[in-house]
């Protein structure tokens, strides 16, 4: 039987470390508010003026993952790039990364599934592998969100949460009779909530790309109805978690580690309590990274492997919800 295996991982964040105390200088907020409401203590933002794009963050993470897999970029069959902040609107960052890696003629696709980009990406990679269309795939989740943020009190909800970073995984086809690698997944979308978290530019329903009113209404900055997204997350994620376990014919005791999307520590705590997951079986790092959207899960998984907090034979649940709405989960067994 053919299975999708994560052969290696890598992560990268820019050097510029921004603490809550740094934000107090520019936004009417407090360290206590941010920590209590989100769990975030610090994040990394590309230094203003630095000449980098999202693909550069991805490149650094990808190089580490490729080196750990001992793969030459030209060996790849596919690059899947999950981001909501591509270098430019067209072409996709996947093709830009392909060129920077020197992965000559390797096909590359971008996916725009925001916080669940990595989960949708895993599903796509597994489909390519199981249909024998690819054997070696590079999947990255990368965001350069700080350049889009309105770093003022008026939009402090988004300014304190979103951050920059990249995570990459090398996914390989493996012939085996063992039930390892990608076990199962569930993905959902509900466009009825598309207005709850959105970023208007460069597309605009009216067809006008930039008008005076867009700038006046600040549609060029991300907009988030935090309360609405929060409520959706704490109600939908436990239902999804249960459904995922049922689909995999597992119980929560069979899961060795939960790696949730890092949007808000309170969301993850609510999920953990509802699912009766012991504290040591859930990994959070939002405290140090903020919300790096498509990059949160691969960054966290890379850290877990590095710290040897997960090992061969462990079963992992990846889960998350974000803009779209999209939400989903994957069960994965480490080879």
Give least dist CB 111 to ligand UT7, A.
Answer: 16
Would you tell me how many other CB atoms lie within 10 Å of the CB of residue 304?
20
Tokens of residue 288, six digits: 């140090």
Q: How far is the CB of 262 from ligand UT7 (least distance, A)?
A: 8
Is residue 263 within the footprint of ligand UT7 (CB under 6 A)? yes
Beta strands in 69-158 (DSSP E): 78-82, 107-111, 136-143
**CB 233 → ligand UT7: shortest distance, Å?**
5
Count Cβ atoms within 10 A of the Cβ of residue 32 and give its class: 0-12 exposed, 13-18 middle, 19 or more buried: exposed
d(CA 146, CA 158): 10
Rounded Cα distance, 122 and 331, in Å: 10
Q: Does 259 bind ligand UT7 (CB under 6 A)?
A: no
Q: Is 284 a catalytic residue?
A: no
Question: Would you say 161 or 304 has its CB closer to ligand UT7?
Answer: 161
Q: Which 125-154 positions form the footprint of ligand UT7 (CB under 6 A)?
A: none
Phi-psi group of 208: left, alpha or beta (phi > 0 → left; psi -120 to 50 → alpha; rest → beta): beta
CA distance 226 to 147: 20
Site for ligand UT7 in 26-45 (CB under 6 A): 29, 33-34, 37-38
Among 20, 60, 115, 264, the active-site one is: 115
Determine which residue in the list 54, 146, 291, 315 makes contact with ligand UT7, applying CB under 6 A: 291
170 flagged as catalytic: no
Under the criterion CB under 6 A, does residue 226 sit at the interface with ligand UT7? Answer: yes
Is 188 tagged catalytic?
no
CB 185 within 8 A of CB 328: yes
* Interface positions with ligand UT7 (CB under 6 A): 29, 33-34, 37-38, 115, 156-157, 160, 197, 226-227, 229-230, 233, 263-264, 267, 291, 293, 322
């Amino acid at each position: 039987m053919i299975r999708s295996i994560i052969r290696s991982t890598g992560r990268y964040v820019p050097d510029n470390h921004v603490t809550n105390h740094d934000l107090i200088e520019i936004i009417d907020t407090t360290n206590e508010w941010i920590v209590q409401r989100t769990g975030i203590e610090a994040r990394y933002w590309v230094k203003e003026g630095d000449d980098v794009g999202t693909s550069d963050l991805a490149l650094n993470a990808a190089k580490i993952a490729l080196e750990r897999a001992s793969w030459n970029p030209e060996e790849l069959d596919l690059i899947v790039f999950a981001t909501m902040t591509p270098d430019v609107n067209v072409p996709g960052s996947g093709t830009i990364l392909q060129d920077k890696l020197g992965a000559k003629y390797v096909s590359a696709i971008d996916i725009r599934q925001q916080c669940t980009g990595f989960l949708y990406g895993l599903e796509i990679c597994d489909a390519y592998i199981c249909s024998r269309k690819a054997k070696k795939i590079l999947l990255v989740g990368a965001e350069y969100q700080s350049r889009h943020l309105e770093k003022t009190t008026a939009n402090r909800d988004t300014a304190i949460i979103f951050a920059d970073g990249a995570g990459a995984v090398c996914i390989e086809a493996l012939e085996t009779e063992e039930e390892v690698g990608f076990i199962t997944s569930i993905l959902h979308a509900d466009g009825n909530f598309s207005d709850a978290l959105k970023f208007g530019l460069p597309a605009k329903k009216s067809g006008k790309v930039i008008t005076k009113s867009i700038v006046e209404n600040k549609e060029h900055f991300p907009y988030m109805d935090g309360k609405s997204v929060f409520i959706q997350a704490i109600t939908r994620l436990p239902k999804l978690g249960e459904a995922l376990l049922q689909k995999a014919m597992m119980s929560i005791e069979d899961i060795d580690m939960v790696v949730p999307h890092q949007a808000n520590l309170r969301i993850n705590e609510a999920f953990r309590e509802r699912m009766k997951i012991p504290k040591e079986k859930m990994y959070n790092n939002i405290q140090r990274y903020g919300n790096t959207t498509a990059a949160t899960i691969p960054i966290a998984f890379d850290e877990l492997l590095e710290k040897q907090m997960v090992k061969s034979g462990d079963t992992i649940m990846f889960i998350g919800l974000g803009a779209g709405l999209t939400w989903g989960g994957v069960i994965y067994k480490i080879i």
